Structure formats: structure tokens, C-alpha cells
Structure 1
Amino acid sequence: MKPSSMFAGLAATMMATQAVAATSVAEALALAKKLYPECALVCLQQLVPTSGCSLTDTACLCTNEELNAGLSVCVLQGCSIEDAFKTKNGSATMCGAPVRDESLKPPLVAAVGFSLALIAYVIRLCSALPGCGRELSWDDWTITACVLLTVPPTVFAFTLSANGLGKDIWTLPLANVENVLFYYFLGELFYFCAQAMNKVSILLFLTRIFPHHNLNRAIWATIVVTLAYAVSFFFATLFQCWPINHAWLQLEEHHQGQCNNIHLQGWLSAIFNIALDIVILALPLHQLSKLQMPLNKKLMVMVVFSVGIFVTIASIIRLHTLVRFANSTNITYDYMDAAYWSTIELYAGIITASLPAVYKYLCSVAARSPGWSKVKSKLSGSSSSGTGVSAGEHVTGSSAVAHRLGPKRSEAEFVLLTDVESGKGQAWK
């Protein structure tokens, strides 16, 4: 929200019942003294007489943009932050501004998103249980680190909501605003760490699925770039203000410090992040397009991997929210979208990284279920008729041997993606 609109209606005290009876400027000012701090009254007395508005003309006082721009500058320069908040809160009330409260949105997103991500992660671990044909590897350990690093931002969503994220800043005590800035700052640090572990997990998974030398070289180069990106922006965020605590204490009148261009830093981070998402998405899809397999199977596998597009979309939306609040002074309300889209991006990343293992596990469970046996027998029956040997045809001699020893079709018709990490040639189906 622009400063020019932050104190709209500063002099609109006349909307109060008592003010309706006021018949003179003196009476109106006497009422204003009861409702506003002294610093705001000084601004009122200086600017209203030259505005063309009467102190009893509420509509003019609330809608005169030039007057309110001057009042906002005057109040921000002459009042403490707490007095400025009191002034704006009173003005908003007197001008009939709606009370905005979207503080339930961040914890709701966190609860639903983290639950879905945790379910995907648990199923991923189940796919490595004995008998499921897969062993734990480095990509599992890095996604575990990602899940653990996502816990604090999830908890912070509830803490931020309790302190007023999603409400207008002038309706909150200064202590609550500082708490919002503090937990938002911590959430950013955990965001970079969790995001890096998520990307590295996906890339390590790709090194096992595609052991080709040239592609592996590109994957490892991307891992190095990802880690460099995460480390760089982690420390850039940690030291975005000096002293560090100025990041959340900057609204205190006597606290000294300075900050970098935080918004530019956020935009650069988001742009690099989107570029990395696109590279990680392109690596497997480019390789899959070259595989020799039926088109329907190729499309099926590409769909599994291309779910990562949603992560990229979440990153783009997050960038849009960062641009939108670039010049905001109403930080507790305008920062909300960026906060919960950051967590959505992390949750979507965990689900995307776990999806191939979830797919394998569900296929494994389905193959062992009684209902699947019927489907399997039907597939076997149709495949026998397709070989040129009918169900009732008697096959003898070398023809029978050739029929028994011929290549057997996979019951589930799943695509085999070789897992080379364990060295046992296990396959991802």
C-alpha cells in the first residue's frame, strides 16, 4: 500500500456521533485531540486549512488525495511508528474502511500442503522396504533433509498468523509486527536450505536413472550450481541488514542500522530459482524423448516427470507476489501471499521428488493384490492370442520350446528405468 493512502481520512473524526453535532472548527479540533496523538494534530492543523476541505466535511477529508498524501508524509516524519499506526487505525475506522483479516490462510495452506507432502514422503520410504525392489540412496537422504528443513517454515506459518500476518499493519501492536518480521526472516533462511535439498534430491535421482556419461556430467554441474545458488542467497539473506537484527527491529524509532535492496535481492533469487527449475525439468524430458518405447509408455513416463512443472508455476507465482509488494508499507498484509506461496513451492517440490518412488510402490502393491491377478490373467490371455498360438492350439516340439523360452511381456506393461546406484541392476517400474 502506498504511503499516500496509508493515512487517508486523517481528519475524518467527524464521522463519530459526537462530531455530527460539532458546529465549529474549534469543536472539531477539540474532538480530534481526544482521538489522535499530538503529532498527528500538528499535521492536521497545518494542512487541512489549505486543502479546500472543511473539518466537518468527512467525504472531502477521506477522498482528497493531495491532502492525504501530504498528511501521510507529515505523520511518517513527525510521529513515532506506534503513533502513526494509531493515527491510521483511527482514520480507517472513521472513514469506514473495511477490516481485513486473512490470517487463517497461511496456516491452512501449511496444514494441507505439509500433510500431502508428508504422505508422499512416507510412501517413498515404504517403496524401499524389503521386498519392494528398491534400496535407500542419497536422493532419499537429501529429500529427508528437505522434509526436516520444511518443518520450521510450516510451524512459522501458525506463529506468523497468530502475530497478525494477513492483517493490516496499523491494527497491530509494534511487538507483533516485529515478530512477523522476525519469523518471516527465519522462514526465508530455511526456505533456501530446503529448496536446495529438494533440487539436489531430484538431480541425484536422475544420476541413477540416466547413467549416460554426458547427461551425468550435466546433472552434476547442475548440482554444483544449485548448491552455489543456495549458499549465496542464504548468506545474502542472513546479512541483508546490518546489524542482523535490524531486519526485524527496523521499525523501532531508536534502532540504528541499514539494509540492502531486499526486494531486488528477492527478485534475483526467484529468477535464478525458476531458471534452475526449468533446467532440472528439461534434463529428464530431453532424455526420455529419445527412449525406444511405444508412444503411450513414453508419454506416461514423461507425465510422471513433468509434474515438476507445478513447482515452476509455484515459483513464478511467488515471483509475482514479490514484485507486487515491492513498495509496500503494509508489510503484515502484503507479505502474506509471498509467505504461503513459498511454502507451497516447498511442498510441491517434495511431492514431485517423491512421485517416481510413489508410482513404483503403488504398482508393486497393485501387482500383489488379488484383483490384479485377474487383470494379469486377462493380459496374459490376450498376449497369447497375439503370438499366433490360439488358446486351444496344441504346440509340440521345437515350437513349444520356443514359445516357452520366448521373451515374456511384463504383466503390468510398466516402463523399466534402471536403478544403477545399488549396482544390482534393480529397476524402477
Structure 2
Amino acid sequence: MASGNASSVGLPIALPPGYPPDTSRVPISDAITSPIFAITIGLYCVRMITRVTPTIRLGWDDVTITVAVVLCVAQFIIGVASHAHGVGRHTFYVPFKHIQKVLLLSFCGQMLWIWSITLVKVSVALSLLRITPSKRWANVLKWLVGFLIFSAIVFIALQLAQCSPVSNFWNPTPAGHCWKKSELAVSGYVSGGVFIASDIFLSLFPSTFIRQLKRPRRDKIALAVLMGMGLLASAASAMRLTVTTLYMSESDPLYDIIIPGMWGSVEEYLCIIVACIPFLRVPFENLLRKFGLLHNTQHSRSDRSPYAPQPSPSYQLTPVNHANSSVRAKHREIIIPRSNESTAAKKTESMEILFSKN
């Protein structure tokens, strides 16, 4: 469960007069989140294959996205367990012991979600750090990574502080107490604002160097589309905040929690997809060629990257007149300028993420 809170609920809940039928919102949630989850895991697997074949080129961005995906899978399993115990149904139809289990699973899911969504953003920032040509913007990304990790620690602390004792979140007692709904709303808006702002920043960050890329126009268009998908994740985050305010109540938490949780999962999946797409160009082109939808074409000189390997010239050995060998050697001498190896290596690495080939 990605978001939503039922910490201040008095349990058990009695049947209200004129209560609604025993229906569930789980089918709606599953119909939306399950396909996106499957696509997310598939794209992540393809990304990691491209990073370990034909040679292993793993970086910290790959490590962080891997941890985020592991946490994402754990949340999905928690969601399945929650469905089995009645989440999505009206609370007054669910046995008290199942309500406690759902609220406990929800609490654990929120903790995992905070770290998962944070690590995805950190992974994107680390990927951008390797391709940005500006030292100033590189420092900005480093500060952003530190800020995101610090924010996650703060949000976890706030999550633990919502109820005293913490177990009052899923097992309310007269001696315990939890934050009021207004206080929970403030905490949610602060965390949501941080995540939305970071999504927008990371989505627009490539615009700081996209004009400097010596790449074909189609590559720049692909990068612009990627930026748009990042903004789509921001929209999902905004929707999560909106539905949390509209749907969350203290009278029917199991029924209300499913919609904010669904949008939280969509936000998380979209962020992972955006983090993986830059690594998928070559596998995607190979797939199109396999089905005959893309053919190899000779690129023009303007479309060729200055950092791509150039064809080596061929030479033919011919008999040499030793009397004129010194003159011929002088005219045949090939001067190869020594470039700044560190700069060239950096530029080559900078193009590797978005446009590398296996």
C-alpha cells in the first residue's frame, strides 16, 4: 500500500444504518496497477541485461534502482496479502483481526514505499550525473541526492511518530493516541511536495544540456519524450495527494485506502519506467529489426557521433625505391594528434547511458 492512513480509527466499526452492499475496489485497483507493474519489472530486467552484456558496466545508479525494484516487489506482495484480508471492502464487513492485519501491512508498505520512491529518484539523479557536462549542475545533482536521502529519513521518522505507541497504528487502544487528520494531511502534503518538486526537477534537468548533444534529431526527440514521461510521474504524485484528501476517512479506512494506494503505486511504477527507458534504445531497435519494422540505413555524416568509432583506413604495401624512401616516407607520414584522453573518456561515458550500443 503506497499511501493512506487509518491510524486514528476506532475499531471495531459497527454497521451503520442503511449500510452499502459488501463490494470491493480491489478489481479496479488490480486492473490498473498489475499491467503497469508487469511492464515495470520487464523493463527493469531488460535494462540490467544491457548493463551486464557483453561486459559488466554496473554503476551506483544500477545498484539503487535494483534496491528500489526489490522494495517495489515487496510492496506488491504486501498488497496481495492485504487484498486477501479485506482491503478495498467496507470496513464494517471485515473481521476485527483482519482489519488489524491490513493496517499493519499498510504501515509496512508505506515504509517500503518511501524508500523505494526515494531510491528511484536517486538512481535517476546518478544517471544524469554521469552525462551532465557542467560541473555546476553536477554539484546540484549531488546536493539533490543528499537532500532526497535526508528527506526519506525525515519522512520515516514522521511515519513512526504518527502514533504513540507505534502499534496504535494497527491496534488502537484507549491508552494510545495518533495524530489528527489535519496533522496527517500536513505531513502528507510536505512529503508529496518534495516528491513532486524532485520529479519536475529531474524531468526538466536534461534541458540544461540537450542542445549540446551532438546527436541526431531523433535522439533529442526521444530525450524530450523521456522528460515528458517524468512529468507524467509528477502528475501521478499530484493525483495521489488529491485522492488522499478526498477519499481518506476515519469511518471506512479499508474501503478508502485502496484509491490513494493505487495512485501511489502508479507513481512508483512510472518513476521506475522512466529510470529504465534511457538504457533500452538498442534492445528496442533490435526488436524492431527482428520484426522487419526497422532496417539498417547508412547514417549521414551529420548523424554520426563524433565520439563513435570511425572506420580505420586500409593501406596496401608496395615496393619502395630505397633511393627515394626518405622522401616518400616524409609524404606518407601520418600525424595522429594526441587528444586529451581524460576529456574524451568523459564525453564517451556521458553518451554511454542514452546512446550506448552492445
TM-score by length of 1: 0.64
- Which one of the candidate residues 5, 18, 40 is aligned to 1:92? 18
- Which one of the candidate residues 330, 346, 350 is aligned to 2:268? 346
1:387-417 per-position Cα deviation (integer Å, ceiling 9, x unaligned): xxxxxxxxxxxxxxxxxxxxxxxxxxxxxxx
Shift of 1:294: 5.8
Residues 22-33 of structure 1 mapped to structure 2, 5 A cutoff: none
Secondary structure class of the residue paired with 1:135: coil
1:328-387 per-position Cα deviation (integer Å, ceiling 9, x unaligned): 4211111111111111111111111000111233235667x6958x933xx33x959xxx
Q: Is 1:196 aligned with 2:118? A: yes
- Which one of the candidate residues 154, 178, 184 is aligned to 1:232? 154
- Which one of the candidate residues 76, 100, 103 is aligned to 1:181? 103
Change (3 A) 1:247 1:421: farther
Q: Partner amino acid for 1:281?
A: S
Change (3 A) 1:174 1:142: same
Over aligned residue pairs, what C-alpha RMSD do you find?
3.0
Which residue of structure 1 aligns with residue 295 of structure 2? 375
Which range moved further: 210-219 or 285-294? Answer: 285-294
Q: Is 1:362 aligned with 2:291? A: no
1:301-350 per-position Cα deviation (integer Å, ceiling 9, x unaligned): 21134321221111011011111135442111111111111111111111
Instruction: Report the count of equivalent residues.
Output: 303
Secondary structure class of the residue paired with 1:205: helix
Does the 8 A contact of 1:124 with 1:361 survive in 2?
no
Residues 70-149 of structure 1 mapped to structure 2, 5 A cutoff: 81-82=11-12, 84-86=13-15, 88=16, 91-92=17-18, 97-131=20-54, 135-149=57-71
Higher RCO (Cα < 8 Å, 6 or more apart): 2
Shift of 1:256: 2.6
Which residue of structure 1 aligns with residue 171 of structure 2? 249
Which range moved further: 107-116 or 329-338? Answer: 107-116
- Which one of the candidate residues 304, 308, 315 is aligned to 2:226? 304
CA distance, structure 1, for counterparts of residue 232 and residue 165 of structure 2:
37
Q: Looking at CA atoms only, which structure, 1 or 2, has the larger radius of gyration? A: 1
Which residue of structure 2 aligns with residue 258 of structure 1? 178
Does the 8 A contact of 1:242 with 1:259 survive in 2?
no
CA distance, structure 1, for counterparts of residue 260 and residue 345 of structure 2:
38
- Which one of the candidate residues 224, 236, 243 is aligned to 1:314? 236
What residue ranges of structure 2 are gaps of 5+ in the alignment?
A: 1-8, 302-343
CA distance, structure 1, for counterparts of residue 233 and residue 248 of structure 2:
23
Does the 8 A contact of 2:33 with 2:262 survive in 1?
yes
CA distance, structure 2, for counterparts of residue 127 and residue 294 of structure 1:
22
1:201-254 per-position Cα deviation (integer Å, ceiling 9, x unaligned): 00000011113211101111111111111111011112211111011112x5x4
CA distance, structure 2, for counterparts of residue 326 and residue 140 of structure 1:
36
CA distance, structure 1, for counterparts of residue 191 and residue 90 of structure 2:
27
Does the 8 A contact of 1:120 with 1:351 survive in 2?
yes
Change (3 A) 1:326 1:336: closer
CA distance, structure 2, for counterparts of residue 422 and residue 232 of structure 1:
38
CA distance, structure 2, for counterparts of residue 123 and residue 357 of structure 1:
8
Change (3 A) 1:419 1:223: farther
CA distance, structure 2, for counterparts of residue 421 and residue 241 of structure 1:
51
TM-score by length of 2: 0.75
Secondary structure class of the residue paired with 2:26: coil
What residue ranges of structure 1 are gaps of 5+ in the alignment?
A: 1-75, 385-417
